[in-house]
Amino acid sequence: MTIEAKYGVPTVAVHTDKFDRVVGSVAATNGMAGLRQVFVPQPVMGKSPRELRAYVDGMNPLTGRPVMQEVIEGLTQPFADGDLGPVEFDRATPRLVEPDTEENLRRLFLERNWTDTLPIVLPTEERVTAMLAATRRKPDEVVGRMRPTHFREAWEYTVEKVAVNAVMAGARPEYFPVILALAATGVSARGSTTSSMAAMVVVNGRIRHDIGMNAGTGAMAPYNHANATIGRAYGLLSQNLQGGSVPGLTYMGSQGNNYAYNSVTFAENEERSPWEPFHVQHGFRLTDSAVSVFTGCRATAFTLGLREKHWREHVRNLLRGLDPHIPPTLLLDPITARQFIDRGGFTRKEALIDWLYDTARMPAGEYWDYQLVQNYIYPRATFGEEPWASKLKAAPDELISMFRREDIHVVIVGGETNGYWRIMGCTYQKTVSVDEWR
Amino acid sequence: MGNLITVLDPVGFAPKVTRKTLAPRLPTLEDQTVYLVDCRFDDSDVFFKQMQAWFAEHLPGVRTVLKPISSVYLNDDPATWEEIKARGHAAIVGVGH
């Protein structure tokens, strides 16, 4: 789009056919409804040169016309007046929904894709007002902007809009500062990526106790109201405040992800952790309340404890099971955290992360052949970006680091019913203050 | 009909959309340079090599340049766009999936 509109070069964009609604919508909302788009079959990935030549020689599966004829016409045929879309259009959002019965409103919210398809609490004025009373911030204050993917325009939202979604999720007013802080991150829990990622939320500080969050037994399971509804609110506010999360249009996750129902939301078990809390590692004081957001949650590896003889190999095997594009965050039961100290002497969390960084290695040839590494890392390496440029110089059999050290994290959660622990493949985004939203 | 309820709309505020100007189309591709811009995603380079071969066979008067973007598709690439603007006449960008 940039090269066409900003640089004035006639352009045709080629996409696979599964993305016709998405790219049409993205072009229109970027003011380029007339952008010339041609479609070939999905997938391109993994196809042989002969198969892809057949795509080029073949038909657009959506129009039934020859692909190359459409490409050439797209570069040479002038636009008709009707091709370009409206000069401008405004998508005003009303404050209120037209009054209706409870049954009809529930149906309407479902039909408009405003829910996660589970029953919601209808956001009446009374309920929203009660939610707003839990913050000193004004209802019309802008909290942030969010979008489901890099190519879409960011939508804006106010404190009141966040409160509406918090009510819908069933959250209690005392949870609202955490939910506002999540909204203020601007990080969507409903990314539209084909990879079906979900978010993860870690809450630290006094607020955990103030609102009764669970950091112990079953913290990541559906047994705590605050954990459950804060996470659900984060998902609902993401989809509604960013302008939607609709399969085939604003959500393209091929398989989907059950983690997205409440964005793996829990409190860190600071009291039973042998190390400093996560938010303190990221610049907050122990007495501060903060919430941290991770994205890209898809892969989970797990095991029980750390065996005396081969614990190093077992951890290495877990790390090697992750896709190297998505780094590891260890979710350790306090039992296992102490085992890492007993077995490896990691009295500081930083020492454990150093060891994880050194342990997560694989032959360079295997690393560079991962599809996601090819898509997202290899291009950056070829243009000199470190540390990947140096890795690119390694011989195929040379062991190289799978991850950057700064992308590896450790969080303590669990009730010590046993030493089970897991690795979540995910990307840390940011930690923000909850106190500022009280 | 049951009691009517008033509820708040949960949707955020969309930015206003203003139409952008699209580039004038070329009268012909003959003797023109067309950049095939590889977004470096899911084997799009293999696809564009095949498209380049198609041009060589069917429209030999069209010069094609296979150009991978400078980084990943998530990043803007002004250096590549400037090159195409200076040396090319049209672009085919892909493959978006």
pTM assigned to the model: 0.93
User: What is the predicted pLDDT for the residue at A294?
Assistant: 98
Same domain, yes or no: A128 and A186: yes
Same domain, yes or no: A68 and A202: no
For the cut 70, the answer to whether the pLDDT of residue B1 exceeds it is no
Lowest mean pLDDT among A88-97, A135-144, A217-226, A276-285: A88-97
Same domain, yes or no: A157 and A34: no
Looking at the domain assignment, is residue A60 inside a domain? yes
Looking at the domain assignment, is residue A342 inside a domain? no
Task: Calculate mean pLDDT across residues A289-295.
Answer: 98
Residue A54 Cα, gap to closest chain B Cα (Å): 9
Between CA A385 and CA B77 the distance in angstroms is 15
* Mutation target vs B (from A3, A50, A132, A325; most B CBs, 10 A cutoff): A3
User: What share of chain B has pLDDT > 90, as a percent?
Assistant: 74
Residue A294 Cα, gap to closest chain B Cα (Å): 19
Residues in chain A within 8 Å Cβ distance of B20? 5, 30-32
Same domain, yes or no: A175 and A229: yes
Same domain, yes or no: A126 and A255: yes
Same domain, yes or no: A269 and A395: no
Between CA A424 and CA A230 the distance in angstroms is 20
Domain count, chain A: 3
Residue B86 Cα, gap to closest chain A Cα (Å): 10
For residue A8, the enclosing domain spans 2-83
Looking at the domain assignment, is residue A97 inside a domain? no
Same domain, yes or no: A204 and A111: yes
Q: How confident is the model at residue A91 (pLDDT cuts 50, 70, 90)?
A: confident
C-beta pairs of A212-216 under 8 Å, 24+ apart in sequence = A213/A266, A213/A267, A214/A266, A214/A267, A215/A266, A215/A267, A215/A268, A215/A269, A215/A270, A215/A271, A215/A412, A215/A413, A216/A269, A216/A272, A216/A414, A216/A415, A216/A416
Yes or no: say if B47 and A54 are a contact pair by the CB < 8 Å rule: no
Looking at the domain assignment, is residue A314 inside a domain? no
Looking at the domain assignment, is residue A354 inside a domain? no
Residues in chain B within 8 Å Cβ distance of A375? 40-42, 72
Q: Give the pLDDT confidence of A361-413 residue by residue, as tens digits.
A: 999 999 999 999 998 899 889 888 999 999 999 999 999 999 999 999 999 99
Same domain, yes or no: A54 and A168: no
For the cut 90, the answer to whether the pLDDT of residue B72 exceeds it is no
Task: Pick B19's closest partner by Cβ from A8, A52, A85.
Answer: A85
Query: φ, ψ for residue A263 (rounded to 5)?
Result: 50, 40
Same domain, yes or no: A219 and A255: yes
Task: Calculate mean pLDDT across residues B72-81.
Answer: 85
Task: Pick A88's closest partner by Cβ from B13, B16, B24.
Answer: B16
Residue A163 Cα, gap to closest chain B Cα (Å): 9
User: What is the predicted pLDDT for the residue at B74?
Assistant: 76
Same domain, yes or no: A45 and A160: no
For the cut 80, the answer to whether the pLDDT of residue A63 exceeds it is yes
Q: How confident is the model at residue A215 (pLDDT cuts 50, 70, 90)?
A: very high
Task: Calculate mean pLDDT across residues A210-220.
Answer: 98
Looking at the domain assignment, is residue A69 inside a domain? yes
Out of A22, A55, A83, a domain closes at A83
Same domain, yes or no: A75 and A110: no
Between CA B15 and CA A351 the distance in angstroms is 47
Q: How confident is the model at residue B59 (pLDDT cuts 50, 70, 90)?
A: very high
Residues in chain A within 8 Å Cβ distance of B44? 44
Looking at the domain assignment, is residue A7 inside a domain? yes
Same domain, yes or no: A72 and A133: no
Looking at the domain assignment, is residue A227 inside a domain? yes
